[in-house]
A and B are shown apart, each in its own frame.
Chain A
Amino acid sequence: DAKTTQPPSMDCAEGRAANLPCNHSTISGNEYVYWYRQIHSQGPQYIIHGLKNNETNEMASLIITEDRKSSTLILPHATLRDTAVYYCIVRVHPAGTALIFGKGTTLSVSS
Chain B
Amino acid sequence: GAVVSQHPSRVICKSGTSVKIECRSLDFQATTMFWYRQFPKQSLMLMATSNEGSKATYEQGVEKDKFLINHASLTLSTLTVTSAHPEDSSFYICSADIGGETQYFGPGTRLLVL
Contacts and interface: CB of A to CB of B under 8 A. Distances in A.
7 contacts: A36-B105, A43-B106, A93-B100, A95-B100, A96-B32, A96-B51, A101-B36
A46 B1 contact: yes
A42 B97 contact: no
A42 B107 contact: yes
A98 B108 contact: no
Contacts of A95: 31-32, 97, 99-100
Contacts of B104: 46
B43 A96 contact: no
A43 B91 CA distance: 9
A97 interface: yes
A96 B97 CA distance: 7
Contacts, number: 60
A93 B110 CA distance: 30
Given A43-B108, A49-B102, A93-B100, A98 B49 contact: yes
Contacts of B105: 36, 43-46
Interface in B92-114: 93, 95, 97, 99-108, 110
The bracket for how many chain A residues form the interface is 20 to 34
A101 B44 contact: yes
Contact of A98 (B1, B6, B46, B91): B46
Nearest to B44: A101
B45 to A, nearest CB: 8
B34 interface: yes
Interface in B33-70: 34, 36, 43-46, 49, 51
A69 interface: no
A21 interface: no
Interface in A25-59: 36, 38, 41-46, 49
Nearest to A38: B44
Contacts of A97: 100
